[in-house]
Amino acid sequence: TRVVGGRSGLRHARRVGGRWVPAPPGRTWPAAWRGADLVHLAGLDLPPPRRARFVVTVHDLSPLVYDDEGALPPWFDEVAAHAETILTPTAFTASELGRLRGIPPERVTVFGGAPALEVAGAQPLTPEELGQLGIRAPFVLRTGGYTQRKNVPLLLQAWQGVSEGTL
């Protein structure tokens, strides 16, 4: 197994017992794919291989909907046109591929999301431990960014209802 990519690729290669082929985002060379029966582009960081068969995972199309989400890479249309299969973690992303890019549903496979990230040995804090940190119920732990699609203003509005007991 060859894993082509940046530092995260190195970590993945070690986990799966594969060989790491370094490649900065957006650049690779034909030799990286040489001899591969099938290449899986786990995201859109690298352009597609020219001569190897490939599948691609598309996690979302948020740059096409929200102007604060960056942009799709310039090779997106090439990837979408030539991938043997487009994999997505959700039915929503599959439908967006059709709605926003005209990709027929038979070219898309929804595989479902991965299990939630677990931190080895981590246990939830007890109410007493939370109290020692100054955290009292009710509370919300929100992770993620602050782009438009995360809709933090709606979370804050809902939280006001929780704290007032109206929800």
pLDDT the model gives residue 115 = 58
Residues across the chain: 167
Whether residue 46 contacts residue 61, with contact meaning beta carbons closer than 8 Å, is answered with no
Alpha carbon distance 116, 127 (integer Å): 23
Alpha carbon distance 30, 26 (integer Å): 13
Q: Tens-digit pLDDT profile for the chain (167 aa)?
A: 888 888 778 888 888 898 888 888 788 878 888 888 999 998 898 999 988 999 999 999 999 999 999 999 999 999 999 999 999 999 999 999 999 999 999 999 999 765 555 656 678 889 999 999 999 888 888 878 899 989 999 998 888 887 776 66
DSSP annotation of 133: T
Alpha carbon distance 6, 4 (integer Å): 7
pLDDT the model gives residue 114 = 58
pLDDT the model gives residue 117 = 56
pLDDT the model gives residue 78 = 95
pTM: 0.75
Whether residue 46 contacts residue 25, with contact meaning beta carbons closer than 8 Å, is answered with yes
pLDDT the model gives residue 106 = 97
